Amino acid sequence: MPTLNWIGKEAVVNHHQRVPFRLLKDVPDLACGDPGSGNLIVQGDNLEALKALLPYYAGQVKCIYIDPPYNTGNEGWAYNDNVNSPVIRDWLGKTVGKEGETLDRHDRWLCMMYPRLALLKNFLSPEGSIWISMDDSEISLLRALMDEIFGRERFIACNVWQKRYSRENREAIGDVHEYLLVYAMDPEKFKETRNRIPLTEEQSKIYKNPNNDPKGRWRGIPMTAQGWRPNQMYEITSPSGAVHHPPEGRCWSTIETEFKKLLAENRIYFGKDGKSQPNTIRYLDEVEGFVPWTWWPHEEVGHTDEAKKEIQALFQTQTAFDTPKPTRLLERVFQIATNPGDLVLDSFAGSGTTGHAILKMNEQSKDKPLRRFILVEMEPKIARDVTAERVRRASEGYVNAKGGSVDSIGGSFRFCELGEPLFDKTGMIRETVKFSELARHVYFSETGEPLPRARVLNTPFLGACRGVGIYLLYNGILGDESANGGNVLTRQILAKLPEFDGPKVVYCAGCLLSRDRLQAANITVRQTPYEIKVS
pLDDT in tens, 147-191: 999 999 999 999 999 999 988 888 899 899 999 999 999 999 999
Contact 198, 289 (CB under 8 A): yes
Q: Is 197 exposed, middle or buried (0-12, 13-18, 19+ CB in 10 A)?
A: middle
Would you say residue 483 has pLDDT above 70? no
Q: Read off the amino acid at residue 228.
A: W
Would you say residue 280 has pLDDT above 70? yes
Share the mean pLDDT of the chain: 90
Would you say residue 75 has pLDDT above 60? no
End-to-end alpha-carbon separation of the chain, Å? 30
The three-state (H, E, C) secondary structure of 70-137, written as one string: CCCCCCCCCCCCCCCCHHHHHHHHHHHHHHHHCCCHHHHHHHHHHHHHHHHHCCEEEEEEEEEEECCC
Q: Per-residue pLDDT averaged across 80-94, rounded?
A: 74
Amino acid 109: pLDDT: 92
Give Cβ neighbours of residue 420 (< 8 Å, ≥ 6 apart). 22, 23, 430, 432
In the chain, CATH 3.40.50.150 sits at 9-197+291-420
Ranked by mean pLDDT, the top range of 25-34, 83-92, 177-186, 362-371 is 177-186
Q: Which of 299-308, 423-432, 514-523 has the lowest mean pLDDT?
A: 423-432
Q: Per-residue pLDDT averaged across 32-42, rounded?
A: 92
Would you say residue 487 has pLDDT above 60? yes
User: Residues 118-137: pLDDT tens digits?
Assistant: 999 999 999 999 999 999 99
Q: How confident is the model at residue 82 (pLDDT cuts 50, 70, 90)?
A: low
Contact 91, 101 (CB under 8 A): no
Return d(Cα 137, Cα 6) in angstroms, integer: 16
Assigned fold of 9-197+291-420:
Rossmann fold (3.40.50)
Would you say residue 77 has pLDDT above 50? no
Return d(Cα 378, Cα 46) in angstroms, integer: 6
DSSP H or E run through 239: none
Of 535, 484, 534, which is closest to residue 509 (Cα–Cα)?
Answer: 484
